[in-house]
Homo-oligomer: A and B are copies of this chain.
Amino acid sequence: MKMMTIGKAAGKAGVGVETVRFYERQGLIEQPPKPINGGYRDYPEETVRRIRFIRQARELGFSLRETAELLSLNADPSTDCADVRERAQGKLLEVERKAAQLDRMRLALERLIAACPGQGALKACSIIEALKGGEGVAVKPTQDKETTP
């Protein structure tokens, strides 16, 4: 039988063996049971998919905790549907916010590139200006008196 050992699984997912173990310890992926005879663990394809998902989510700026929350939406097909739905909607908002920011950055880069090639000195294609909208959670005001001292 073709066993997928942890090394194979890690290779397929594009991470190191230690990273797989780390995710197991963090509860992001389930550690397959050790065979009764006491040999090596056999990893299912599902684990590889989960690891890849985790990497992608990380690249999109989700923490491991947030990634676990995303995975938990997937994990239980039997759990309270309304609850899953609610959490999914929360995540969707987060995703949409990120997407909007990313789109602003994309536009800014495109403008920068467009303004660059010819001959001018590309005066002020501010990338910074691109990401001015959509402040995340309301940060503590810290008494913002601003222009009224």
**Are A88 and B101 in touch, CB under 8 angstroms?**
no
Interface flag for A58 (CB, 8 Å) = yes
Majority secondary structure, A binding face? helix
Interface flag for A23 (CB, 8 Å) = no
**Are A128 and B53 in touch, CB under 8 angstroms?**
yes
How many copies of this chain? 2
In the complex, what distance in Å separates the CA atom of A137 from the CA atom of B95? 23
- Residue ranges of A at the interface with B (Cβ–Cβ < 8 Å): 2, 7-8, 10-12, 14-15, 49-50, 52-53, 55-62, 70-71, 73-74, 77-78, 81-82, 84-85, 88-89, 91-92, 95-96, 98-99, 101-103, 105-106, 109-110, 112-113, 116-117, 119-129, 131-132, 135-136, 139, 141-144, 146-147, 149
